Amino acid sequence: MKKIRIAFITFVAMSIIVTSGFLTQLGYCRGDLGLREIFTEVHDLRKEINLLNLVNGLYLSPQQMAQMLNITRKVEEIRGGYRSKAVSQARQMEEVLKEIRGTVARDEEIDGELVRKFHGAKKRMEDLKEEFRGSMMPYQDEMKGVLNENQLALIEEFKPCIIPPRDSFDSARIGQAHGDTRIGERFLTRVRQMDERVYQKRKPLIIERHIERVGRHVGLLSEEEMAEEERRISEIFKRARELSDLDFEAQKGDLARELKEPHEKAMKNRHRKRKGDLDKLGKFLLDPELIPILEKRLTKVTVR
């Protein structure tokens, strides 16, 4: 019986560790409100910076920001209802854990009724979490409808960081769907403006990075496919560099679309997640911290 009791206590401990915050687990802030506030502030600042980096990289239009803000506000209303339910269930779990603590402190056996209470409280918390995630799915899909394919790809590849890498030739930023080709046009303009020596030196690296990105979208390419993709991109670069200034201005949008069009379907499929599971877009763009960021951006646009 003692082995069973120890096993159950271990299970309870692991369950709480998984659902608790990292600092709480380690007890760094226990009994020290000042420390708790500092760590919370640091966490919030890191989170805000990550969201700002993502928003900066998406090059959102004012219309997109307004639509996203409307979605996030609706989500926050729903989140508020679930938050009150979660607090109620957390209090129930707290009472069960206090009973378990008292039993363990007295070195007594944990009876079946207490075990059932613990599993019941844990399941209710897990069910509420699943219910909340399910309620977010329509808004995640709605948010996807606001963004274009290149922006969706950027989110899929986004890695939270405080200091983002600055690579002017990141192929994730080449071209945008739904008629928005500004990023791709700027990229092709830079390729076009290189002198021949610099272009010939950098071209293999630019194309290699593009092919690596395509591989992450559609799966590993065969040697034949890589050779064909290299040929295709080289041809687009060649045409962009050989056009007159007037012709390039007229055709740069079409050239930018050509860079990514063959892979759009595969990129779209990559963003489909299993039912009931939020993907990167949902986790980042349905975050309530995005609301003040969008509000500030829209205010600046309106003031101008």
Mean pLDDT score, 67-77: 94
Is the model's pLDDT at 26 over the cut of 50?
no
Distance CA 237, CA 199 (A): 10
Cα four-point dihedral sign 174, 180, 181, 186: negative
Is the model's pLDDT at 153 over the cut of 70?
yes
Please provide the average confidence, as pLDDT, over all residues in the chain.
79
Is the model's pLDDT at 197 over the cut of 70?
yes
Mean pLDDT score, 57-70: 93
Is the model's pLDDT at 256 over the cut of 90?
no
Distance CA 140, CA 4 (A): 43
Confidence at residue 223, expressed as pLDDT on a 0 to 100 scale: 78
Distance CA 178, CA 76 (A): 29
Read off the pLDDT band of 35 (50, 70, 90): confident
Is the model's pLDDT at 30 over the cut of 60?
no
pLDDT, tens digit, for every residue of 174-194?
333 344 577 778 888 989 999
Confidence at residue 174, expressed as pLDDT on a 0 to 100 scale: 36
Confidence at residue 227, expressed as pLDDT on a 0 to 100 scale: 84
Mean pLDDT score, 74-80: 92
Report the share of the chain in percent with pLDDT over 70.
75
Domain ranges of the chain: 2-146+284-303, 152-272
Distance CA 49, CA 44 (A): 9
Distance CA 293, CA 304 (A): 17
Read off the pLDDT band of 263 (50, 70, 90): low
String of DSSP letters for 20-39 = S-HHHHHTTTTT-HHHHHHH
209 vs 170 pLDDT, higher one: 209
Is the model's pLDDT at 22 over the cut of 50?
no
Report the share of the chain in percent with pLDDT over 90.
31
Confidence at residue 206, expressed as pLDDT on a 0 to 100 scale: 86
Token reading at 193? 């403006």
Helix axes 290-303, 62-105, angle to 10 degrees: 160
Read off the pLDDT band of 219 (50, 70, 90): low
Distance CA 292, CA 300 (A): 12
Asked which of 21-35, 120-134, 191-205 is least confident by mean pLDDT, the reply is 21-35
Is the model's pLDDT at 87 over the cut of 50?
yes
Asked which of 80-84, 166-170, 232-236 is least confident by mean pLDDT, the reply is 166-170
Confidence at residue 86, expressed as pLDDT on a 0 to 100 scale: 92
Confidence at residue 31, expressed as pLDDT on a 0 to 100 scale: 56
Mean pLDDT score, 92-103: 94
Is the model's pLDDT at 134 over the cut of 80?
yes
The model's pTM: 0.54
